[in-house]
Amino acid sequence: MNDSQLILTIVAAIGLGTPLIFATVGEIITERAGILNLGVQGTMLVGAVTGFWATFQTGSLTLGILASLLAGAAFSVIHAFASITLRVSQIVSGLALTIFGTGLASFLGKAGSDPLVGEPARDQFDAIISGGIADWPVVGPLIFGHDILVYVAWIAAGAASYYLFRTRMGLSLRAVGEDPASAESAGVNVAWVRYVHVMAGGALAGLGGAYYPLALVPTWQDNPIGAAGWIAIALVILASWRPWRALFAAYLFGAAARIQFTLQTLGEPWSSIPATILAMIPFVLAIIAMIALTSGKRARFLGAPAALGIPYFREQR
């Protein structure tokens, strides 16, 4: 692999990792509240179809992004109501949300007299800087040659880290995720904190979903995000429930996803490997990384919230 191919691989990894950053940071916020949301995949798909539809109808990327944020937040209320108010199994609720969201996005993409399937986006996110410093060797394409949502993802990860560990609300959020009974004894409204942060996590997942048809592949196709929602859940563990680490985890997966295409351009023996085998690389690496992190003494340092996935019954304080 020469220098040019390496730079292209890194740039592609940043692009492929950006939607995963949004979804992973959103899931970290949700799980820090003690709520396990396996509905990330469905939420991302709903955000994707809503954001694409809004942009397609209005020609405005801004409205498309706002629509994806609102759709993700609204859709996640279903999981919040089921897991917080009804106290049903968070695993069952999350899986149901993914099944529902997948079907809903597919239906909306094909419904009506003017279906979205196969339609190109009326607008798309392009690099905000072209020419000038974006053409500088190495630094230009790596730092300045990206669309605005790449930089928003960096800000989101940093802001979430600051919020979690440097603010009073962040302290309340972590307390609810660790010991909701003690948090409520200290005056924290556990249900309110959980609802707000499940919705915030859903909004970020919706934004991550919209990035696929509005930036990576600017057209609508059935399930444009692949298995991104499931990968985001795995990356939460890889990031040890810390938002800033989600940057590295997402870009690592993005690089692994890009390498499968880079290897095919290197000639023999790589080009003779079946594409289906190469497509397994990022998922295999993710599994290996999770096993390495969760085995033995390392598991105690991961930082998973103690009350994660456990319904809270106020009367049992």
Predicted pLDDT at 51: 97
> What letter represents residue 225's amino acid?
I
Q: What digits encode the pLDDT tens for the residues 4-25?
A: 778 888 999 999 999 999 999 9
| Residues in contact with 45: Cβ distance below 8 Å, sequence separation at least 6, in sequence order | 101, 102, 104, 105, 209, 223, 225, 229
The percentage of residues in the chain with a pLDDT greater than 90, rounded to a whole number, is 67
pLDDT > 70: what percent of the chain? 92
66 neighbors 55 (Cβ within 8 angstroms): no
Among 252, 238, 257, CA closest to 302: 238
Q: In degrees, to the nearest 5, what angle opens at C-alpha 19 toward C-alphas 17 and 24?
A: 90
The full length of the chain comes to 317
φ and ψ at residue 185, rounded to 5 degrees: -65, -30
Q: Work out the angle between the directed axes of helices 3-32 and 243-264 (0-180°, nearest 10).
A: 140
Res. 191 pLDDT band, cuts 50 70 90: very high
195-208 residue pLDDT tens: 999 999 999 999 99
The CB-side HSE value for 260 (13 A sphere, CA atoms) comes to 17
State the pLDDT at residue 315: 62
- Between CA 251 and CA 14 the distance in angstroms is 6
Measured CA to CA, the distance from residue 160 to residue 278 in angstroms comes to 34
pTM greater than the 0.85 cutoff: yes
Encode pLDDT of 215-231 as tens digits.
999 999 999 999 999 99
Q: What's the pLDDT score for residue 259?
A: 81
Plot region of 226 (φ>0 → left; ψ -120 to 50 → alpha; else → beta): left
Mean pLDDT throughout 133-138? 77
Residue with the bigger pLDDT between 43 and 302: it is 43
Cα-trace Rg, the chain: 20
229 CB burial (10 A radius; 0-12, 13-18, 19+): buried
Contacts of 265 (CB under 8 A, 6+ apart): 5, 271
pLDDT of residue 284: 84
